[in-house]
Amino acid sequence: MSPVVCFPHISIYMSPLNNYIKLFLCWFCGETDTLNKFKDEKGNFKEDDLVADARGMLGLYEASYHRVHGEDILDEALAFTTTQLKSIIATQLISPPLAAEISHALKRPIRKGVVRKGAWLYISTYQQKEGEIEALLKLAQLDFNLVQKMHQEELSSITKWWKDLDLPTKLPYARDRLVEGYYWPLAAFFEPHYALGRSMLTKAIAMLSVIDDTYDAYGTLEELELFTKVIESFDISMKDELPEYMKEIYQALLGVYSSYEQEMAKEGRSDCIFHVKEAFEQSRGHVASAVECYIKQYGVSEQEACYELNKQVENAWKDINERS
């Protein structure tokens, strides 16, 4: 085998089973002519050369999600590999671990996935591979366990705050979704040093969940109109106008923002809370969804609006890739 060198100090030995990695490296290095060699005279990817390698196909599929504007060949690669991988799954001729890996990738490619969850899924898959590097596997498991321990400690601290509020007992109609709420910021701020961001956002989500249930399933129209007015005022003196159960919510909400203010002051960024309070003071009516706005602006159906908005999302991913 001969090495293909695309980056300084990096050599990757390529076999016929690594054609997709080769494709991506050549694209990344700007060698688009090399990519075209994998096409036939009609401009389509050569299935005979590529389809036999399911893992390599999966590699190109994942790589294609790093496409940017003007790189049409990776748009074609994504369409091609998606179709072929679905066909490969349907044949049931590959190993169960590889089939599971492909099925997951089709639903949630690495580029669009939750990083830490993806790491755990890949660790379990990697253990079943032939020729795995034992030291690499041990390092990945150690990293995952250390970060998991840190997340457990964070969640323990947030849970203590939640239990001290005792809102699930005081408001039995509200769903207790604290752990679920922690998962969202964990996806957004997965790096270990963003502990404060995860804590702050989890508390906000917990309060939003309680308020959402209050509006959707419990409060009367008159109570909710008053509650909205009091929240928008951001004035603690108006708390006495609320029903007893709403006083608990309002007091807890103000407590969350007070804790934010203290944390931001430590960071020298207490002005952030001022902007939040300022936003609360603005009166807002119904906030139309993107779909509703698109339908109204262009006079199209809901299905057409969703299709066009999905295209805009894909283009936004290309923008992100260009800045990465």
Question: What is 137-174 written as a DSSP string?
Answer: HHHHHHHHHHHHHHHHHHHHHHHHHHHHHTHHHH-TTS
Q: Higher model confidence: residue 41 or residue 112?
A: 112
Q: What pLDDT digit, counting tens, does each position of 137-156 carry? A: 899 899 999 999 999 999 99
Q: What is the mean pLDDT of the chain?
A: 80
Q: In this predicted structure, which of 98-112, 238-252, 268-282 has the lowest mean pLDDT?
A: 268-282
Q: What pLDDT digit, counting tens, does each position of 69-95 carry? A: 987 888 888 998 999 899 888 888 888
Provide the token pair at 24. 């991506």
Assess if CATH 1.10.600.10 describes domain 146-280.
yes
For 253-280, b/e burial (b = at least 16 CB within 10 A) is beebbeebbebbeeeeeeeebeeeeeee
**CATH architecture of the domain formed by 3-113:** Alpha/alpha barrel (1.50)
| Dihedral in degrees, nearest 10, Cα atoms 187, 191, 193, 197 | -20
User: Which pLDDT belongs to residue 14?
Assistant: 35
Q: In this predicted structure, which of 9-18, 131-140, 278-287 has the lowest mean pLDDT?
A: 9-18
Q: What is the largest CA-CA distance in the chain?
A: 79
User: Which pLDDT belongs to residue 12?
Assistant: 32
Q: What pLDDT digit, counting tens, does each position of 185-225 carry? A: 988 888 889 999 999 999 999 999 999 999 999 999 999 99
User: Which pLDDT belongs to residue 288?
Assistant: 65
Cβ atoms of 165 and 173 closer than 8 Å: no
Helix (H) or strand (E) holding 4: strand 3-7
User: Which pLDDT belongs to residue 124?
Assistant: 82
As a whole number of angstroms, the distance between CA 317 and CA 320 comes to 5
User: Which pLDDT belongs to residue 67?
Assistant: 87
Q: In this predicted structure, which of 69-78, 119-128, 170-179, 261-270 has the lowest mean pLDDT?
A: 261-270
Band the pLDDT of 269: cuts 50, 70, 90: low
Q: What pLDDT digit, counting tens, does each position of 22-62 carry? A: 555 554 555 545 556 666 677 676 655 555 678 888 888 99
> Among 245, 227, 237, which residue's Cα sits nearest to residue 166?
245
User: Which pLDDT belongs to residue 215?
Assistant: 94
For the chain, what are the domain ranges?
A: 3-113, 146-280, 290-323
